[in-house]
Structure 1
Amino acid sequence: MRSEGRGALYAAAVGVVAVVVYANSLANGFAYDDEWIIQGRELVHGLDRVWQVLVAPYWPEGFGSPIYRPLTLLSFALDWQIWGGAPFGFHLTNVLLHALASILVTLFLFRFFSVGAAVMGGLVFAVHSVHTEAVANVVGRAELLATGFVLLGCLVYMRAVRGERFGTATVFLLAALYALAASAKEVAFVMPALLLVTDAPIIADLPREDRARFVRQRLPTFVVLAAVLVALLLARWAVLGTPVGSGPARVFAADDSFSTRLFTMARVWPLYFELLVFPLDLSADYSPAVILPATGLTPMGVVGFVLVLGILALAVAAVRRAPEFAMAVAWAAVTLAPVSNLLFTAETVLGERRVYLTSVAVSIPVGLMIARSAAVRRRWLTVAVGVWAVLFAVVTVRRNPVWESTDSVFASLLTTHPESSRALFALGLRHHELGNEEEAREWLSRSLEIWPWYAPYQVRYALVLIEQGELARAEKRAWSAIELDPYRLDHHKLLVSILLMDGRPEEAIAKIRHALLYASPDASLYTQLADARAAVGDAAGAARAQRSAIEAGRDDAGAWLRLAGFRAAAGDTAAALSALDSVGGDRTVADSLAAVWEGGN
């Protein structure tokens, strides 16, 4: 059998191992973020709204995270169309995508190492337990798709490098793979840098005089990829209103200065190393107080700096003797850069599914050690890596059921990290859903005592308190949300709603006036102003506010009926009838009102 055919067969075997290890995740349901992004979102319930899917933010309205992943959303819609919303089908797709990624990692390693060494590296990736969240939780698909297309891009690029052929077809294939990868998840924006990283072993052997030619040969390819990057950023700008956005900075909500982010991340770097090398302590969440911000250098921060600097020093020293190791270190650095919290803040400081693409950097040294070892040592190394992989597989199989449901996720989180504010908050919401209101208030309050600097939790607790009739306590939470994020209009609208429900329309009017000083025209805010004006007996003012709401975009039948009612209350029957003329659709109510008002004249 030819070596390439044998290698492909072994790579396929690695894919089979990946399927076997993650097979028990097929019994999982929708859990955690799946509930909001897939299960409760009609947009992805089939392919009848494909064009809306392609121009929709990743998170549903109200979550406030500026993320755009059209390919991932489209894959959810396709799964829903095929499987009718059954979670099994979604999980099957994830497992198959992980198997494909494992095959691609193995094929990637074939470019540098012998078949046996590459297969061992591929197996480590296939069974790695840090991948559990990415594979066993459906929304982890963003990682699977992005990684798959990035690896395909690397294989295409390395094939072109080996043949010294960067033809038009190759360049445009790379551009297409880049666009697809970045449309799945933002980490793939670094794909051009990863292509350069794969050149490390070649550059190490090049004479200095050949390096200029090496760069010129690749320059057109990277110009095209730069153009794709610009197009992707423009698409994000069109959909999100910003080309590069940061999610809610939960850990850094109180202090997002660069020094705090640096010292905090220094404490996190050893955890990244632990997750990649020996991931026994896995967690669905690392938000406060699992990890707290550090305003200065801590003992764990010292460990982090020493660890990172030591690895970088080894990589530099190994550039010529073991360029593949330098490549692995560069791969890890490049893929972690977007989630490092040093360039911009992210929702969390650490997430296990975020290291899916990064973990390729673990497989590279595995292949390198086995390939470079003498025969006797190679056998022992292969056995050691095999034992390591078996340990990974055992942890993975045991971890997969944790992602069966949201309840199972948070039950596990409460067991491993009872200090997690997110876990406590989720427990409070679950009690609220079950009608245990006293317990709900206790756990929600405890969560916010641990970490009060996250505005979305203040808002959600306020909504729970409103349902419980605790308007005074809800008002305090709304004010807290405004103090944390004064430029988010939804927080002001929440406070206005509470004031109106509490029978304080004058205060509501004052609050709306304040919000309108720096807010763009907002239909719902003007609607609230109309209600407040009506509550104080100012029907004419209510009519003006309702007209502003219509001009701001709310021009449905209900809005025109409200305008007509306010105008009639103000004594302007002619203007009220004019508003009724604009009511579309079912005109039963409009015609009845018109008959009454015309009869009154």
Structure 2
Amino acid sequence: MYRFGCIIILLAVVYGTTLTHDFVWDDTYIIVNNPLLEKLGNIPAFFLSEDTIEESSTGYYRPVTYISFALDRAVWGVNPAGFHLTNLVLHIVAVLLFYAVTAVLFKKERLAFVAALIFALHPVAGETVNFLAGGRNTLLSACFGLLALLFHVRNKPVPALACFTAAIFSKEFALLFPAVFVLYDLRMQREKFRAGRYAPFLVPVAVYLTLRSFAVQKANFLDAINLPDAVAAPYLVARYLLNMVAPFQLKVLYSINPGTTSVILCCVFAGGVTAAVYYFRKHDEILFSAFWFLLFLLPVINIIPLHTTTMMADRYAYFSLMGFSLFLAAVIGKLNGRGMAVVVVALCAVYAAIDMRHNGVWKNDIEFFTRMTKDAPERFVGFKNLGMAYYRKGDTARAVEYLEAGDTKRDISVNYLIGDAYIYWKENRLDKAEKSLRRVVDVNPSNPEPYLLLMMIHEQKGDSDTAQDYRNKVLGMVGSLDKLMTDRTFEMCRTGETYMSKGQYADAEIYLWQALKIDPDYIPALVDMGSLRAGQGKLADAVTYFSKALDLEPFNASARYNLAMVYQMQGRTAEARAEMVKFRDAENREKHKENVLR
């Protein structure tokens, strides 16, 4: 038990600082602003829901992960410390289970302890522990998967089946565990293959695939297989292995552009590793570690393209790290007692130092996205996210600086360029907005939206001739300028309302501002902007927006009610009462109109 205690204390010391970290990156969308997590009664819905980020499909289906987030929300609210504590506890549990599995498989306590220490403290595991939205699914799947393997080894099929089921509903990686069961039975137990022993595992797999087919838009992930893209597989295997051997250049965002020479060298390297494994094939630890390492890399080496920002990430290698840790422990175990102790202590010290330094990268969005811009300076995503992080903090100068830097990157999409143009326009940086929109025109000249915005910007500048030129181009594309502006206003307003419902006021303001810039008299956007300003505590601005809406539509019940509430917050009691009377009158008129329409 003292070994368990040693592991727990080391991990608490190394990762204890994560408890002071904020939510970072996708945590905001998946955890903080996810309405499904607000009530435990929504848990059944998780089994028919796809993972989404900013309303976009991901192709992932991980209901047990969302159950864990819902439980955290029930206990901690939106305090990030509680979520980080859960991640840390799950990593500790995964390490202890890995220790137990290794000890049972090979009957070598020292080997198991060293392998567990390496896995526990290796820097490649750090991203999985630090990243809530991206790491929780891996931690849960690892814990349940290792438990399933432990029960299988101890010949307890029912608990093994239950844990396997929980594992695959946490993350699809766990679908590979039956292959580990088969290897154990054939290699270590010297048993003949018995299909009936593994048939029960097909039941939860069938249930999982059936439910997934209802939840996920593109349910058949086998359709995504693209063998020409799999040429990068040897390169990715080599990169992951290199990161494990020498974890000194780990990144939060990797740029993967393997050239032909790199792929050839990696294939030669992979061939050498395969030959070495074959040479040591009679050593169970070596064979098992190599099989484990390669098996759990299969889903992340681009044979099936990932629906993520990057082709490679440290968190993808968490399972494979167990195989590497076992291999390294087996090699270290060849040393004499004192030499082994010195190497293990030195490794743990180096790993711990790297971990504690790297943890700081995940402290908050500013730190994280700053590091992303350094890790992948040729990509736009870090600059875009860093710019938006500063914008949400109210630091407009830095926001514009980083957004503009992101606009120069070759991989930025048209939608992001247009979004940045709106921000520049909102902040009265008209030349920057025009520059961004001109790039959109160069990339996608058939898109009418940049011409519409350029028309409005030049109208604001007082350049009527240039504005008319852009107006003519829009008319030549769409025929009806009014319809285009009406549709765009409605779309922006609805998007702003979505962000408001999630409490993302800075993002909501951008879209509502866009709607009002296109149509300053659009009443739903005026009411929404008034509500947003009231939520921000800017009551005078809220009164202005509600009053304008009522000037345009005196019997708008929503505007009357919200204006009454704002007056009440300002201490203007008499005016609040008068507005409530008008609200009831407007409400009665709306009810009467509905009855007539029926």
Where does 1:465-476 land on structure 2 (aligned, <5 Å)?
A: none
Give a deviation string over 1:44-86, Cα, whole Å, max 9, x none: 1342422333432222452331211111111111111111221
Go from structure 1 to structure 2 and tell me whether the alpha carbon gap of 1:177 and 1:482 turns closer, same or farther (over 3 Å shift): farther
Alpha-carbon separation, structure 1, partners of 2:481 and 2:277: 58
The one-letter amino acid of 1:451's match is R
Q: Is 1:117 equivalent to 2:95 in the alignment?
A: no
The one-letter amino acid of 1:66's match is G
Contact kept, 8 Å, 2:418 with 2:437, in 1: the verdict is no
Q: Is 1:157 equivalent to 2:152 in the alignment?
A: yes
Give a deviation string over 1:221-254, Cα, whole Å, max 9, x none: 322222322221221110113324499x9xxxxx
The one-letter amino acid of 2:193's match is V
Task: Using the TM superposition, give the Cα deviation of residue 180 of structure 1 relative to its aligned residue in structure 2, in angstroms.
Answer: 0.9
Task: Using the TM superposition, give the Cα deviation of residue 325 of structure 1 relative to its aligned residue in structure 2, in angstroms.
Answer: 0.8
Where does 1:207-246 land on structure 2 (aligned, <5 Å)?
A: 214-216=192-194, 219-245=195-221
> For 2:145, what is the secondary structure of its paired residue?
helix
Go from structure 1 to structure 2 and tell me whether the alpha carbon gap of 1:91 and 1:364 turns closer, same or farther (over 3 Å shift): same
Alpha-carbon separation, structure 2, partners of 1:55 and 1:39: 20
Alpha-carbon separation, structure 2, partners of 1:423 and 1:301: 27
Q: Is 1:297 equivalent to 2:283 in the alignment?
A: no
Alpha-carbon separation, structure 1, partners of 2:448 and 2:207: 35
Where does 1:68-467 land on structure 2 (aligned, <5 Å)?
A: 68-111=61-104, 112-139=106-133, 140-160=135-155, 170-199=156-185, 201-202=187-188, 206=190, 214-216=192-194, 219-245=195-221, 258-259=227-228, 261-286=229-254, 290-291=255-256, 293-294=257-258, 296-298=259-261, 300-320=262-282, 322-347=283-308, 348-371=310-333, 373=334, 377-433=336-392, 440=399, 443-452=402-411, 454=413, 457=416, 460-461=419-420, 464=423
Partner of 2:461: none
The one-letter amino acid of 1:411's match is T
Alpha-carbon separation, structure 1, partners of 2:77 and 2:95: 28
Alpha-carbon separation, structure 1, partners of 2:272 and 2:439: 46
Partner of 2:590: 590
The one-letter amino acid of 1:129's match is P
Alpha-carbon separation, structure 2, partners of 1:318 and 1:192: 24
Alpha-carbon separation, structure 1, partners of 2:340 and 2:415: 50
> For 1:32, what is the secondary structure of its paired residue?
coil
The one-letter amino acid of 2:298's match is A
Go from structure 1 to structure 2 and tell me whether the alpha carbon gap of 1:381 and 1:327 turns closer, same or farther (over 3 Å shift): same
Go from structure 1 to structure 2 and tell me whether the alpha carbon gap of 1:442 and 1:55 turns closer, same or farther (over 3 Å shift): same
User: Pick from 14, 22, 33: which aligns with 1:21?
Assistant: 14
Task: Using the TM superposition, give the Cα deviation of residue 402 of structure 1 relative to its aligned residue in structure 2, in angstroms.
Answer: 1.8
Task: Using the TM superposition, give the Cα deviation of residue 27 of structure 1 relative to its aligned residue in structure 2, in angstroms.
Answer: 1.2
Contact kept, 8 Å, 1:109 with 1:367, in 2: the verdict is no
Contact kept, 8 Å, 2:362 with 2:368, in 1: the verdict is yes
Task: Using the TM superposition, give the Cα deviation of residue 512 of structure 1 relative to its aligned residue in structure 2, in angstroms.
Answer: 13
- Report the TM-score when normalising by structure 2: 0.70
Give a deviation string over 1:469-515, Cα, whole Å, max 9, x none: 878777778789989xx9xxxxx99889979999868855789999x
Contact kept, 8 Å, 2:22 with 2:363, in 1: the verdict is yes
Task: Using the TM superposition, give the Cα deviation of residue 445 of structure 1 relative to its aligned residue in structure 2, in angstroms.
Answer: 4.6
Give a deviation string over 1:80-136, Cα, whole Å, max 9, x none: 111122111111111111111110111111021421221111111111111111112
Where does 1:27-42 land on structure 2 (aligned, <5 Å)?
A: 27-42=20-35
Go from structure 1 to structure 2 and tell me whether the alpha carbon gap of 1:83 and 1:185 turns closer, same or farther (over 3 Å shift): same
Alpha-carbon separation, structure 1, partners of 2:338 and 2:482: 74
Partner of 2:572: none
Contact kept, 8 Å, 2:50 with 2:61, in 1: the verdict is yes
Alpha-carbon separation, structure 2, partners of 1:32 and 1:481: 28
Higher RCO (CA < 8 A, seq sep 6+): 1
The one-letter amino acid of 1:325's match is I
CA RMSD, Structure 1 to Structure 2 (Å): 4.0
Task: Using the TM superposition, give the Cα deviation of residue 31 of structure 1 relative to its aligned residue in structure 2, in angstroms.
Answer: 1.1
Task: Using the TM superposition, give the Cα deviation of residue 350 of structure 1 relative to its aligned residue in structure 2, in angstroms.
Answer: 0.8
Alpha-carbon separation, structure 1, partners of 2:349 and 2:130: 19
Go from structure 1 to structure 2 and tell me whether the alpha carbon gap of 1:61 and 1:32 turns closer, same or farther (over 3 Å shift): closer
> For 1:443, what is the secondary structure of its paired residue?
helix
Alpha-carbon separation, structure 1, partners of 2:91 and 2:64: 16
The one-letter amino acid of 1:396's match is D
The one-letter amino acid of 2:265's match is V
Alpha-carbon separation, structure 2, partners of 1:144 and 1:423: 26
Partner of 2:46: 53
Alpha-carbon separation, structure 2, partners of 1:37 and 1:94: 15
Contact kept, 8 Å, 1:370 with 1:378, in 2: the verdict is no
Unpaired segments ≥5 residues, structure 2: 458-470, 485-489, 496-517, 519-552, 554-585
Unpaired segments ≥5 residues, structure 1: 1-7, 161-169, 250-255, 487-491, 515-522, 529-534, 536-564, 566-585
Alpha-carbon separation, structure 1, partners of 2:406 and 2:196: 53
> For 1:283, what is the secondary structure of its paired residue?
coil
Alpha-carbon separation, structure 1, partners of 2:418 and 2:144: 38
The one-letter amino acid of 1:186's match is E
